[in-house]
Amino acid sequence: MTTKVFIVIVSYNGMTWLRRCLKSCGSYDVIIVDNNSNDGTVPFIKSTFPEFVLLEQNENLGFGAANNIGISEALKNGADYVFLLNQDAYMEKYTLEKLIGIHSRNPDFGILSPIHLNGSGTQLDHNFSKYIKLNNALQSDFLTQSFSQQIYEVPFVNAAAWLLPRGTLEKVGGFDPIFYHYSEDVNYCQRVIFHNFKIGIVPETHILHDRELRSKLKITNTSENLAYFERSLKQSWANINIEIESQVRIKKQIIVKTILKSILKFRFYEVLGNLHKYRRLNHILPEILNSRKKNIKIGLHYLNE
């Protein structure tokens, strides 16, 4: 029986990388979900890669929701595996074949990732080097380039290049929509582990992650600070592997105490900032609790919904 594999790519103003990214996909079935790009991405894909499925969106849905659309399309067409690939990443030859072959012999892994090199392939992607440190054996073996294992288990690897077997998707579902952009892959890994799958890095396979040209996110105002605060709480409290009742209570107590201290010191700007945080916490808590209730269950959550 032929294994059906689909590559899913979310595009958004990605003309800097897309030609090389899409060319690296070879003869695989590719589904591109475009988040309302305005840099010529859509006409470029239609004219240069007409064989790929292009699902145009009328707005920027964010990384997770757009991937859910692509994954749903792949599953509808009988996918055995879905490979998520960033628009700024390029596959090396045989990367996908090797990942699938290794997974077929290790079905207890719910996510497999290749090694992520930088855009030129000369060294590790900077962020990916942090994930290698999550496994002492992998870190040691990488230094010597003598790998003793086919797969090294880690608690997290970012979603720039994920092999997702159908079994993972049917049990865990898709990305949780409470995350618009950033932390959705952290949450997904938490859920994969909860549902008794492992997450692994396969050292004999590689992709190139060309993120050197991307600007780093900087928090510059109150609104962005609140958004970061919200995302941090969601990342921590939507983790279904832990209980959060005491964490919520303690966090509220800390904010209230901080507000009272600021009042006594006449630091009313700090009072206002922490009042905003307290209100934001109470606003998002029901959403987090609903997410936890849903994600502990088995099913195609957020896919085909």
pLDDT in tens, 89-106: 999 999 999 999 999 999
CA distances from 275 to 182, 253, 262 (A): 25, 12, 11
Question: Which pLDDT score, from 0 to 100, does residue 222 have?
Answer: 72
Average pLDDT over residues 201-225: 77
Residue tagged 């992607």 (tokens): 125
Question: Which pLDDT score, from 0 to 100, does residue 182 have?
Answer: 86
**What secondary structure letter does DSSP report for 77?**
T
Q: Using 50, 70 and 90 to split pLDDT, how confident is the model at 218?
A: low
Average pLDDT over residues 199-216: 85
Q: Kindly compute the dihedral angle of the four CA atoms of residues 34, 39, 40, 46, in this order, to the nearest 10 degrees.
A: -10
Q: List phi, psi (to 5°) of 29.
A: -70, 130
Q: Using 50, 70 and 90 to split pLDDT, how confident is the model at 305?
A: low
Q: Using 50, 70 and 90 to split pLDDT, how confident is the model at 2?
A: confident
What one-character-per-residue DSSP string does 35-63 give?
A: ----SSHHHHHHHH-TTSEEEE-SS---H
Q: Is residue 160 a contact partner of residue 85, using CB atoms and an 8 Å limit?
A: yes
Instruction: Specify the range with the lowest mean pLDDT, choosing from 32-36, 78-82, 139-143, 235-239.
Output: 139-143
Q: Using 50, 70 and 90 to split pLDDT, how confident is the model at 213?
A: low
Question: Which pLDDT score, from 0 to 100, does residue 56 have?
Answer: 98
Average pLDDT over residues 207-236: 80
The reported pTM is 0.94
- Residue type at 281? L
As a whole-number percent, the residues of the chain with pLDDT over 90 amount to 88
Beta strands in 98-257 (DSSP E): 109-118, 152-153, 161-165, 198-209
pLDDT, tens digit, 9 for 90 and up, residues 6-38: 999 999 999 999 999 999 999 999 999 999 999
As a whole-number percent, the residues of the chain with pLDDT over 70 amount to 96
- Residue type at 110? G
Outline where 152-295 has alpha helix (H).
Answer: 166-172, 184-194, 222-237, 245-264, 268-295
pLDDT, tens digit, 9 for 90 and up, residues 239-282: 999 999 999 999 999 999 999 999 999 999 999 999 999 999 99
